[in-house]
Amino acid sequence: MSKSPRKWKGYGLGVILRKSKRAIKSWVERERARKENTSIVTLEKQMNRLVNGLAVDLKDVSIMGEIKKVRLKLWELHRKEEREWKQKSRSRWIVDGNRNTKFYHHLASSRRQANWIHLFRVNGKIISEEGAIHEEIKRHFTNVYNSSSAFELADLEFNIRTLSSTSKSWLEWEFDEEEVWSTIRSMNSEKSPDPNGFNVGFFKKYWAEMKSDVMKFFSDFCEGRQWEPDLNHSFVCLIPKKASPEMLDDFRPIGLVGCIYKILAKVLANCLSNCLEDIISDNQFAFTKGRQILDCCLVANEVVDCLRRRGNEFLVFKADFQKAYDTVD
């Protein structure tokens, strides 16, 4: 990576990441071919031969030196394999240990099996053919992600709180390098990678090489310049809402946004968090730090209980809204 930014100077961040992905894939293929002669199995066989040789002559210093070298190589390969499978398993609670590869492999395989959609029901009909599943998923979420209204905030005739002039000026300042870097350091390194295959850990490790291009992206954002298309690509992942989902409504779609997009969103969230208390109503409980939506349920329960004890007649109206993350409206 130390050579890449200089080699690709003048390219945008999206192009640099795409070219880096290709270069890394080529490097991995070369490394795999090179390691065929230094694989774990090969080194273990070599270790057995050396141990057998040492059993014949316990004072052979050269064999002891070779055993030490092979042991170090084996340890390094086991650790690399373990880290690779740990990242695939995305286990957050286990600590890296000596040769946990089997555990991580099992966990990754279990995740893949659990996340696989084998069939679902559409209008009472079961669909199990892979192509039909793909088409139905595409049709369903195309409808979900299409907005059917053109509602504007200006249409609301409410006395909504607004930001003070000081807060407005503060939010319009350009981001500095320390602000972006501190945000990156606070993020999880092994969250799901973006479509280019990079996670936050990549930017942490190669920040010295990537910071100029990342800061240029933030500068372009503040100036309102158009983004590179690559930086706004994302995956849509379907998360089951229950143990055995049968219909597409039983899945919750989440967007696995690009890593740069995620960093930008985190930086913006940190900035906005300092101003939210000035504009959020005291009656709003959801999605506000220090408040819980459960408080609203407790208040409603107390009101109903009080009315029942007094013997007053009352009417409870429950609106069954579709959850916010199920549509874009």
CB 300 within 8 A of CB 53: no
Mean pLDDT of all residues in 48-56: 72
**How high is the pLDDT of residue 204?**
92
> 302 falls in which pLDDT band (50, 70, 90)?
very high
Q: At residue 57, does pLDDT exceed 50?
A: yes
Tell me which of 222 and 244 has the higher pLDDT.
222
Check residue 176 and report its DSSP letter: P
Average pLDDT of the chain, as a whole number? 76
Supply the pTM of this predicted model. Answer: 0.64
Mean pLDDT of all residues in 234-247: 78
Domain edges within the chain? 39-110, 120-308
Q: Which pairing describes strands 234-240 and 125-127: parallel, antiparallel, or unpaired? A: unpaired
**How high is the pLDDT of residue 248?**
78
**How high is the pLDDT of residue 179?**
92
**How high is the pLDDT of residue 288?**
74
Q: How far apart are CA 102 and CA 131, in angstroms?
A: 33
Span 144-172, pLDDT tens digits: 777 666 566 666 666 777 888 888 888 88
Helical ranges in 91-206 per DSSP H:
101-115, 130-144, 165-171, 177-186, 200-205
> 91 falls in which pLDDT band (50, 70, 90)?
very low
**How high is the pLDDT of residue 105?**
52
